[in-house]
Amino acid sequence: MLIITAPNIEGKRIMKYLGIVCGDAIMGANIFNDLFAGIRDIVGGRFATHERELLKAKENAIQDLTEQAKSLGGNAVVGVDIDHETIGNSGLMVSAGRTAVIYESGDRIQWISRCIL
């Protein structure tokens, strides 16, 4: 499954647009409760634990997006955008979404050309 931020796939033809797909992941209050109290987690001025949790949330959102695209028969998602939204005082939602497509892969083109020759 190809997941890209560009609106098209360079050198490939999009055969069919399948529709919008979206994946979401919500990080709960427990991750942010000790944001300033957890000074011991600061590495080079960064909160390593929180960054790992945010990365997991992004990965989960993209995984959901991928599963939706596959269920529609897609082999790519183009124009992917990742957004972050706060929920209440202590939650964060990560959303990833855009358009599931079927693009013409090189394998399919080679197979067709062998059949014709």
Give pLDDT tens digits for 26-48. 887 565 555 554 555 555 566 67
Domain edges within the chain:
2-116
Domain 2-116 -> CATH class: alpha beta
Using the structure block, give the residue that is written with the tokens 């083109």. 109
Query: Span 92-108, mean pLDDT?
Result: 87
Model confidence, pTM:
0.74
Given a contact cutoff of 8 angstroms between Cβ atoms, the answer to whether 81 and 98 are in contact is yes
Q: The tokens of 94 are what?
A: 């990560």
> 3-state DSSP call for residue 111?
helix
CA atoms of 38 and 104, how far apart (whole Å): 49
**Helix-then-strand count for the chain, H and E:** 3, 6
User: Which two three-digit tokens encode residue 78?
Assistant: 């183009």
